[in-house]
Amino acid sequence: MADVASPARPHPRRRARSILRWIATWLFAVIVAVPVGLVLIFRFVPPPATPLMIGTMLTEGPVVQRWVPLEDISPNLVRAVIAAEDGKFCSHYGFDLEAIDKAFDRNAAGGRLRGASTISQQTAKNLFLLPNRTWTRKGIEAYFTLLIEGLWPKRRIMEVYLNLAEWGPRRFGAEAAAQANFRKAASKLSALEAARLATILPSPLRYRADQPGPFVARQSQIIVGRIDDVRRDGLDSCVYQ
C-alpha cells in the first residue's frame, strides 16, 4: 500500500506575511475605512442615535430627539452657542490652540479644571463617543474632529451639533430643548431663550433654562449681548453666507 503524502505546511515566512496582511487589512478598516465611511454617510444622513443616547435609553428609558434642518433652528441659537462655546468656530480647523494653551496654564497653576473643546470637537464626541474623560477617548475624538473638519462644511457641523447635544434629562437636540423648556419650535426661539439654552449646555442635567437660577439668569444676559456681536463681527459667516 502506497504511503499517503501529508499536506505541505506553508513556509513560515509566507505564513508570517499572510498574518501581517490580515493585520494591515484589519487596521486599515478600523482606523481609516470605517471612520471615513461613517463621517461621509453622516454628512448627508441624519445620525439615528449616539452612544450617549443609547446608553441613556438603556439605563433611564426613552429619549426625546427630533432632527430638524438648520434652517428650522433660530439663528439666535446658532449665534448663542458660538458666543458661549466657540467664538472662533468659523476661523479654526477643529482646534482652538490658544484656548488649549490657556486651559493648560490654568490647570497647571492649580485653577479649576477647564476644557477647551471647540464645537467641532464636541460634535465628534457627541456623535461617535461616550463622554468619559480618558486620554484614549481624547485621541479618538481628535481624529474624528479632523475627519469632520475635512469632510463636512462648517454649516453641517453646526447642524449636527445642535441636533445631537444633550439639553436635559433624556432630551437631545434643539427641537426637543425648545419644546420642553419654552413650548415652542426651535425656529421661534428668542435671543434670551437661546442664550439660556446655550448657558446650560455644559451642564444640562444641573441647570434649567425654563426656570433659571442666579447663574443661568446672569450668564444668559451676558450671552444675549454677545449674540449681536457674533452677527455684527461675522463670527457666524461660515453658517450664514
When mean pLDDT is compared across 34-38, 72-76, 112-116, 147-151, the lowest value belongs to 112-116
In the chain, % of residues over pLDDT 70: 82
Residues forming beta bridges with residue 166, ordered by sequence position: 172
Mean pLDDT (the chain) is: 88
Give 129-188 pLDDT, tens digit per residue. 988 888 888 999 999 999 999 999 999 999 999 999 999 999 999 999 999 999 999 999
**Sorting pLDDT into bands at 50, 70 and 90, what band is 86?**
very high
3-state helix, strand, coil in the chain (%, to 5): 60, 0, 35
On whether the CB atoms of residues 35 and 147 are closer than 8 A, the answer is yes
- pLDDT of 132 reads 81
pLDDT of 6 strictly over 60 = no
- pLDDT of 45 reads 97
* CB within 8 Å of 211: residues ≥ 6 apart: none
Fold of 30-232: Penicillin binding protein transpeptidase fold (1.10.3810)
pLDDT of 113 strictly over 50 = no
Long-range own/partner contacts, residues 42-49 (CB < 8 A, 24 or more apart): 42/127, 42/160, 43/151, 43/152, 43/156, 46/163, 47/127, 47/160, 47/164
Q: Where are the domains of the chain?
A: 30-232
pLDDT of 103 strictly over 70 = no
- pLDDT of 22 reads 67
pLDDT of 94 strictly over 50 = yes
pLDDT of 20 strictly over 70 = no
Cα(232)–Cα(140) distance, rounded to whole angstroms?
35
CB half-sphere exposure, 124, CA atoms < 13 A: 25
**Sorting pLDDT into bands at 50, 70 and 90, what band is 96?**
confident
- pLDDT of 25 reads 67
**Average pLDDT estimate for 86-94:** 95
Angle at 20 between CA 16 and CA 26, to 5 degrees: 145
Give 175-234 pLDDT, tens digit per residue. 999 999 999 999 999 999 999 999 999 999 999 999 999 999 999 999 999 999 999 999
pLDDT of 1 strictly over 90 = no
Cα(224)–Cα(192) distance, rounded to whole angstroms?
6
